[in-house]
Each structure stands twice: as structure tokens, then as C-alpha cells.
Amino acid sequence: MKIALITLMCVPGLAFAAGSDSSTPKPPTTTQTTQSCTGAQVWDSSKKKCVNPKGTTLDADTLYDAVRELAYANRAQDAQAVLSVMPDQSEGRVLTYWGFTHRKLGNLDLAQTFYDRAIQADPDNLLARSYMGQGHVEAGRMMAAKTQLREIRARGGAGTWPETSLAQAIASGETYNY
């Protein structure tokens, strides 16, 4: 693990995909959502245009992909607008990204509330644990971050993106924007 972590720290610009269980770098696919659409609009491939996500026929997975893409592009408020129309607000991935986007907007207490809800719904939500741990790193609570790292490993997450990114954040003090 130390060798992998040192290797990751030495490669500038190395990015990981949010939501990936692999430790292999892979950012979300860039689509017209971030290339052409403005604000909280999402690309609708069937209509071949940007649409307001509220009231569209886009399915939850398409909306979720747009949330990830917008978050990766440092557009947390736009991601939240898309999150707000997700059909199941109690779903773990939705709660996780509510927490993530609030953390990126500086609302650490609210982010923690969403991470807690995501983990309560699914204690094995490794991504929520990683993002929560990164929030602890940002707040200087290293012991709490290390607790989440131990939980990720104990729940079978050794070698996954959530573990690798949190371990790197603990080692470097730098967190991810996605």
C-alpha cells in the first residue's frame, strides 16, 4: 500500500473516478453536459440539446452521471440542482453527492449530515466514507479521517478508489474535487 500511495503522490494530475471501486484512475466521461450546457442543464441525447433536468424524462442513472460530471467540473451548485430532481432522495449515491457538493461549497456540517445519512442507509458505502474522511482531513480532524480509512478497509475496500484517495488525502493533506 505504501508503494502504491507513494507512486500516486509522485504522478501529478492523477485523477480518480468518483464512485469507482477500482484504484485505477478514470474521471467521469465528459459529455455535452459540461461542454455545451450552462447552469444546471443536462444534455439529453435523444433530443440532442441541453434541457432543464426538472420535468425531463431522463432516468436516474443519466441524472446521476450528470451530477458526477458537474461535480468533477467544479460545478457543485449545478450538481446540486440536478441532485434536487433525483427521484429517490434517500438513495445512497444521492445522499453521498449531497454531502460531497456541500463539502465543496464549504458547508462542512451539512455535508456531514448527508454522509451520516448515506452511511446509515448503507454502512458499506465506501465512497461516502471516503468523502467524509476527506472532509475530516479538510477540517484537520486526522483521527476521524483515519477511522474512516480503517472502516473502508474493514469493509473490503482495500485497493479501491475510496481507500486510495482517502489514504492519499491523509498523507498529503490534499483532497479531491470529485
Residue 110's φ and ψ, nearest 5 degrees, are -65, -40
From residue 103, alpha-carbon distances to 19, 46, 47 in Å are 16, 33, 33
Mean pLDDT in the chain? Answer: 87
3-state class of 42 per DSSP? strand
Give the pLDDT band of residue 34 (cuts 50, 70, 90).
very high
Beta bridge partners of 49: 44
Q: Please state the pTM of the whole predicted model.
A: 0.84
Tens digits of residue pLDDT in 142-153? 999 999 999 999
φ, ψ dihedrals at 22, nearest 5°: -90, 150
Is residue 2 scored above 60 in pLDDT? no
> What are 114-132's pLDDT values in tens digits?
999 999 999 999 999 999 9
- Among 7-11, 28-32, 33-37, 71-75, whose mean pLDDT is lowest? 7-11
Domains of the chain: 1-16+89-178 (1.25.40), 31-87 (no CATH)
Task: Give the residue with greater pLDDT, 93 vs 4.
Answer: 93
Q: Look at residue 86 and tell me whether its pLDDT is greater than 60.
A: yes
Q: What are phi and psi of 43, to 5 degrees?
A: -75, 130
Whether the pLDDT of residue 134 is over 50: the answer is yes
d(CA 54, CA 50) in angstroms, rounded, equals: 12
Average pLDDT over residues 127-143: 96
pLDDT at 55: 84
